């Protein structure tokens, strides 16, 4: 059984340092200070989403079906994965607008309700 290597220290939550590599085939070992890959630090839920996204060729609607979740949930999962990779999220006002548009796209809101919510968000910006 293989285990996912922890990226954070279980004691102090600092970044773990990768210091040893070993070949499974010939047992050659390297020691030193190595940079871990960015994706190695992701939680399993983020990896599952990214794999589904790639399998579905980037179609959020297909990811929605593959994972059995709603369109806004997929969008939120993508934002969480991007955040975990260190990419900045849009500001709160922009996020609110995207959320309204996502709900409109998924049918959770009708056009008039979406317009009303977007106007409310625009008032906050002023």
Higher-confidence position of 57 and 126: 57
Backbone angles phi, psi at 9, to 5 degrees: -65, 130
Q: Is the pLDDT of residue 125 over 60?
A: no
Q: What is the pLDDT of residue 90?
A: 58
Q: Both tokens of residue 78?
A: 């993508």
Q: For residue range 18-69, list pLDDT tens digits in order.
A: 899 999 999 999 999 988 788 877 888 999 999 999 999 999 999 999 999 9
pLDDT in tens, 64-110: 999 999 888 898 889 888 888 888 665 555 667 778 888 888 888 89
Structural contact between residues 109 and 103, judged by C-beta atoms closer than 8 angstroms? yes
pTM: 0.55
Torsion of CA 55, 57, 60, 62, to 10 degrees: -60
């Amino acid at each position: 059984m293989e285990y996912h290597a922890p990226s954070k220290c279980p004691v102090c939550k600092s970044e773990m340092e990768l210091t040893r590599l070993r070949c499974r085939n010939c047992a050659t070992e390297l020691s030193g200070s190595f940079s871990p890959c960015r994706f190695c630090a992701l939680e399993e839920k983020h990896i599952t989403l990214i794999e589904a996204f790639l399998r579905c060729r980037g179609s959020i609607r297909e990811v929605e079906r593959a994972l059995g979740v709603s369109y806004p949930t997929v969008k939120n999962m993508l934002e969480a994965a991007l955040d975990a990779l260190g990419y900045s999220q849009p500001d709160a006002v922009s996020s609110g607008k995207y959320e309204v548009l996502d709900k409109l796209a998924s049918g959770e809101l009708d056009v008039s309700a979406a317009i009303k919510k977007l106007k409310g968000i625009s008032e906050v910006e002023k």
